[in-house]
Amino acid sequence: MNTITTRLSVMMFLQFFIWGGWFVTLGTFLANTLQASGGEIGMAFSTQSWGAIIAPFVIGLIADRYFNAERILGVLHLIGAVLLYCLYQAADFEAFYPFVLAYMIAYMPTLALVNSVSFAQMDNPSKQFGKIRVWGTVGWIVAGLAISYAFSWDSKQAIEDGMLRNTFLLCAGASLILGLFSFTLPKTPPKSAGERVGLKEVLGLDALALLKDRNFLVFFLSSVLICIPLAFYYQNANPFLTEIGVDNATGKMTLGQVSEVLFMLALPIFLNRFGIKITLLIGMLAWVVRYALFAYGDADGGIALLLVGIALHGICYDFFFVSGQIYTDSKAGDKIKSAAQGLITLATYGVGMLIGFWVAGQITEKYTNGSTHSWIDIWLFPAAFALVVFVIFMFTFKDEKVSANE
């Protein structure tokens, strides 16, 4: 591993350590420490979607035109460190919400910036990027293991004592380190300096022409809809596991990221063997199975069901969202390839997840009784929803030939 590769790997590790270090336990923290309602928790998680909607403007109108990517990355993470410290100090949800909204608006553009900095140093990104990106997943896993096993902040007593507040302090420190470290990264000058860039290019609207293709339209709408079950996982998985008495819940949830890496390796082989339709359908069906397992698992005899449900994350995410990116890439020509990826990201992580977090908040609140929840009802809703999307997709999407590099 050469020096530049090492530096890019450290950058990617810290980038996702920061996100995984507070986002996974956010629902548990809000419900227990700040006594937030289901609707308020949904509002807090939806800030990720607002960040995803605003991010293209930051990247397209500023980063790609005026400033080096690594400098903007550094500034945003330094701002992020201050905002995370403010989240650490917030006494109630009213004080917490403006800071988490501001933080996600600052953080979400950095996801594209770390990619830009990485790609600029690569001769063959399709082969080299995976080896850098995997360190991001490792960062997320290390954050979860540290919270559970090194600090025990997610134990029952620690949660009652408000120790999950420390996750924001931990991530503020990591954000400060990454912010300063970013200024030492290889120079990545703006790609579109001197070029006119309009709203159409920023939002990927050039790719709207793809929606005239009936098959792509079905895939596009299904991608938006399947984000509703996805939001339930991000918002409710940690509070659910903690409430029913699963020890070291945050650490156990890292099993999902381990499975994500393993299934990522298997995806090209599977895609080439069975085709895009079967791969996408398996990804959707995995959501149905996962939530059924969550609905009927428990912390004692049913712990195996919960662990399998967590481990299904690799199939749920890779087989639908990653293969969906590959499918989008194959449908778009070279001219609108970036626009198409931008459009699908805006539709899923922006619009789809925004709706998803709102729905998850409303359903969770409906089945809340004091400090306890009817988790069977909460989990069966996204299971049934994913099943409906699965059936509609099965009968309306026609298989196409899509190849993936093994």
Query: In this predicted model, what pLDDT tens digit does every residue of 138-185 receive, in sequence order?
Result: 999 999 999 999 999 999 999 999 999 999 999 999 999 999 999 999
Query: In this predicted model, what pLDDT tens digit does every residue of 247-269 receive, in sequence order?
Result: 999 999 999 999 999 998 889 88
Percent of the chain past pLDDT 90, that is, above it, reads 73
At 199 the pLDDT is: 67
Query: In this predicted model, what pLDDT tens digit does every residue of 84-107 receive, in sequence order?
Result: 999 999 999 999 999 999 999 999
Q: Which residue has the higher pLDDT, 338 or 341?
A: 341
pLDDT band at 330 (very low <50, low <70, confident <90, very high): confident
* Dihedral angle of Cα 380, 384, 385, 386, to the nearest 10 degrees: 100
At 158 the pLDDT is: 97
SS3 123: coil
Residue linked to tokens 């939806």: 46
Token pair for 108? 């979400």
Backbone angles phi, psi at 114, to 5 degrees: -65, -35
What number is the average pLDDT over the span 196-212?
74
At 93 the pLDDT is: 98
At 208 the pLDDT is: 86
What's the CA gap between 184 and 176, in Å, rounded?
Answer: 14
Tell whether the model's pLDDT for residue 406 goes beyond 60: no
Query: In this predicted model, what pLDDT tens digit does every residue of 206-233 receive, in sequence order?
Result: 788 889 999 999 999 999 999 999 999 9
Backbone angles phi, psi at 372, to 5 degrees: -120, 165
At 198 the pLDDT is: 66
First to last CA, the chain: 22
Closest CA to 320 of 271, 360, 364: 271
Tell whether the model's pLDDT for residue 186 goes beyond 90: yes
SS3 369: strand
What DSSP letter does each residue of 240-283 carry, written as one string?
Answer: HHHHTT-TTHHHHHTHHHHHHHHHHHHHHHHHHHHHHHHHHHHH
pTM greater than 0.85 (yes/no) = yes
Tell whether the model's pLDDT for residue 1 goes beyond 70: no
Token pair for 347? 């539709």
Percent of the chain past pLDDT 70, that is, above it, reads 94
At 309 the pLDDT is: 97
What's the CA gap between 46 and 37, in Å, rounded?
Answer: 14
At 404 the pLDDT is: 67
Sorted by where each starts, the structural domains of the chain and their CATH numbers stand as: 1-186 (1.20.1250.20), 207-401 (1.20.1250.20)
What number is the average pLDDT over the span 112-138?
87
At 20 the pLDDT is: 97
Q: Which residues of 240-249 are buried (b: 16+ CB within 10 A; e: fewer)?
A: bbbbbebebb
Do β-strands 368-369 and 372-373 pair in parallel, antiparallel, or remain unpaired? antiparallel
At 11 the pLDDT is: 97
pLDDT band at 131 (very low <50, low <70, confident <90, very high): confident
Q: What's 312-326 look like in SS3?
A: CHHHHHHHHHHHHHH
**Mean pLDDT estimate for the chain:** 92
pLDDT band at 305 (very low <50, low <70, confident <90, very high): very high
